[in-house]
Every structure is written in C-alpha cells, then in structure tokens.
Amino acid sequence: MVYSEKKSKEANIGWFRGGTNVTFDLNGLHKMRKDSIRNYSSLIIEYEFEYDHDEVYFANTIPYTYSTLCKELNEFEKDEKRYQ
C-alpha cells in the first residue's frame, strides 16, 4: 500500500495499491534462538514516484488506527440493526 501526500491533496486519494515486482525473500540475516535459527526476510518493491518533493509512505496493509476502530465501534453501538 502506498500513500502520497501530493496525490492525496490533488486527487483526493488515500492509500492505494502501488509498486511493481513485489517480492518477499529471505535476506541472509538470521538470529539464533534456543534450539533453532530464526531467518529474516525483506519486502522488495519497485516504485516510480509521481511527484517531485513528495512525502510517500509504504505499508504492507492499509493502516487501521485505534481511533478508527473506536469510531466504528461507536457507530455500530448507535445502530446495531444496520449491521445484523
């Protein structure tokens, strides 16, 4: 998922799917745990920036804040029949 400050302001677009050649591969790093080895992976994407001097954020899913959860739960409590 990608969020562009400039795209958000100009096109009223929030988080969107972006990037190409997305891979998730072992990166050669590991950590010894008691009786096993924990291997680490890296997320690799190619992304072509659309705007100069833009702030761009990347996430593996659309961010879902605690504030959003509280708001949606309050709406649910107000109108439970709508969600049955």
pLDDT tens digits, one per residue of 65-83: 899 889 988 888 887 666 6
pTM above 0.75, yes or no: no
Q: What is the pLDDT of residues 4-20, one digit of tens each?
A: 999 999 999 999 999 99
pLDDT at 57 over 70: yes
Can you tell me the distance from the alpha carbon of 78 to that of 72, in angstroms, rounded to the nearest whole number? 10
In this predicted structure, what is the pLDDT of residue 81?
67
Can you tell me the distance from the alpha carbon of 28 to that of 40, in angstroms, rounded to the nearest whole number? 7
Percent of residues, the chain, with pLDDT higher than 70: 94
Q: Taking Cα atoms as reference points, which of 81, 78, 12, 6 lies closest to residue 49?
A: 6
How many angstroms separate the Cα of 37 from the Cα of each of 25, 26, 27, 30?
16, 13, 14, 7
Write the DSSP string, 6-21. HHHHHH---SB---EE
